[in-house]
Amino acid sequence: MAKRTYRSTTRSRKLTPIEVRDIRKLRKAIEQEVPPVEPDATRVAIAKLRALREAKGISLGDLSARTGMTRGNIARLESQKNATLKTLERYAEGLGCALEISVVSSK
């Protein structure tokens, strides 16, 4: 969870130092109670594919020509973090890679 900084105002009223301290204390308590969220596998895969595309210097237009997907669909895929396995396979093949899926026991 990203840390947020408090601007010391709420509803057009300046927070007192005690209120700021209490809010920070409450936030820390909540962060300790809530278990960390496991990252979504699809989002992780898309982020890795995008990073690989950028590292190779492949533009969206180039990838569009390689995959047969439209440039807009590729951009939407990268920003929405939602895709089917078939789409991820096409994306990976366009980068000259293979998509590998594994299942591991969680505990």
Residue 61: inside a domain: yes
For residue 10, pLDDT beyond 70:
no
Question: Residues 63, 95: contact at Cβ < 8 Å?
Answer: yes
Residue 16: inside a domain: no
Residue 73: inside a domain: yes
Q: What range does the domain containing 62 cover? A: 41-94
The pLDDT tens digits of the residues spanning 13-31 come to 788 899 889 999 999 998 8
Residue 19: inside a domain: no
Count: domains in the chain: 1
The residue assigned the tokens 């895969």 is 45
Residue 83: inside a domain: yes
Residue 85: inside a domain: yes
What does the alpha-carbon distance between residue 39 and residue 63 come to, in Å, rounded to a whole number?
A: 26
The pLDDT tens digits of the residues spanning 51-101 come to 999 999 999 999 999 999 999 999 988 887 678 889 899 999 999 999 888
In 10 A of CB 42, how many CB atoms?
14
The pTM of this model reads: 0.60
